[in-house]
């Protein structure tokens, strides 16, 4: 009988890898050397809500197919603690920063997404890498031709590392499709706005707000028209998702036992 991997924990119906940041970097570097294509996902509250709300089997399969699934949310990590478990936080923006600053050897990097200004800034900030870029059109999720063009770009680039900066769930679904084609190599990371933070195109929340689980509030204040629904309407659904997960997955005490549920908040 195959034993479950103790370093991986399925929480809120997503199988998270419980790796500290340094171990996550080492794993990404190892995947970058591989001959087969692998990809990394970093679910946050918005991603979990999208998974639950859409019920999209293609999206769920994309998360299951990831070689590495890292928790990118202090709120999710706190809910995990309240459920009697633990999830190290490895923010996608921090992972991207650390890989480019000192984690990766000199290598070829492909970027999917962003504009010419972002591309120039990356090449200027990190000249030790060889950069190649592809800018797809908007609406990749509903554009099979655009997704196929991304896959062909990644395959032809031969890059060791691919950063997908086209948002969720497009990045995750495209990665799953690239993997299914079986023609690419290296490792891809679904990293959202991480490259924009690095180049200064967008400002990230101060460290104290990140530590206080208030990064969402900073981003809401920075882009209220674009993000108000994500953070004020959709985001709070995470608590209902968590309560339902607890009800299904955590054992209840027997009547009269006097014990409390495992990991009760």
Residue by residue, DSSP assigns 197-255 as HHHTSSPPPPHHHHHTT-HHHHHHHHSHHHHHIIIIIITTHHHHHHHHHHHHHSPPPPT
pLDDT at position 255: 52
Q: Is residue 110 part of a domain?
A: yes
Q: Is residue 253 part of a domain?
A: no
| pTM, to two decimals | 0.89
Beta carbons within 10 angstroms of residue 206's beta carbon: 12
Categorize the per-residue pLDDT at 213 as very low, low, confident or very high, splitting at 50, 70 and 90: confident
Cα–Cα distance list, 237 to 45, 73, 149, 206, 240 (Å): 9, 15, 35, 25, 5
Question: In this structure, what are the phi and psi dihedrals at residue 95, rounded to the nearest 5 degrees?
Answer: -60, -45
Asked, for residue 1, whether it belongs to a domain, the answer is no
**227 domain-assigned:** yes
Residue 254: per-residue pLDDT? 57
Q: What's the total number of domains in the chain?
A: 1
Indicate if the pLDDT at residue 201 is higher than 50.
yes
CA Rg value for the chain = 19
Question: 61: domain range?
Answer: 8-247
Residues 6+ positions from 56 with CB-CB distance below 8 Å? 169
265 within some domain: no
Q: Please check whether residue 83 lies inside any domain of the structure.
A: yes
Confidence of residue 227 (pLDDT cuts 50, 70, 90): confident
Tell whether 254 is covered by a domain.
no
**Is 252 domain-assigned?**
no
């Amino acid at each position: 009988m195959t034993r479950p991997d103790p370093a991986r924990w399925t929480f809120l119906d997503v199988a998270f890898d419980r790796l500290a940041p340094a171990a996550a970097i080492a794993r990404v570097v190892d995947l970058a050397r591989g001959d087969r294509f692998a990809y990394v996902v970093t679910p946050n509250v918005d991603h979990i809500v999208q998974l639950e709300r859409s019920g999209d089997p293609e999206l769920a399969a994309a998360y299951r197919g990831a070689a590495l699934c890292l928790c990118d949310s202090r709120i999710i990590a706190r809910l995990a603690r309240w459920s009697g478990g633990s999830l190290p936080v490895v923010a996608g923006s921090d992972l991207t920063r650390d890989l480019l600053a000192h984690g990766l050897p000199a290598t070829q990097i492909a970027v999917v997404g962003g504009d010419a200004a972002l591309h120039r800034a990356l090449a200027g900030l990190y000249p030790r890498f060889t950069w190649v870029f592809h800018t797809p059109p908007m609406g990749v999720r509903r554009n099979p031709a655009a997704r196929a063009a991304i896959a062909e770009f990644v395959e032809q680039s031969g890059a060791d590392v691919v950063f997908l900066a086209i948002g969720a769930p497009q990045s995750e679904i495209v990665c799953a499709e690239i993997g299914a084609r079986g023609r690419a190599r290296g490792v891809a990371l679904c990293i959202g706005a991480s490259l924009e933070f690095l180049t200064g195109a967008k400002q990230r929340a101060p460290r104290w707000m990140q530590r206080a689980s208030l990064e969402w509030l900073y981003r809401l204040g920075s882009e209220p028209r674009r993000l108000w629904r994500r953070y004020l309407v959709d985001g709070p659904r995470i608590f209902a998702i968590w309560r339902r997960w607890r009800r299904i997955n955590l054992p209840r005490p027997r009547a009269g036992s006097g014990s409390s549920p495992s990991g009760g908040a």
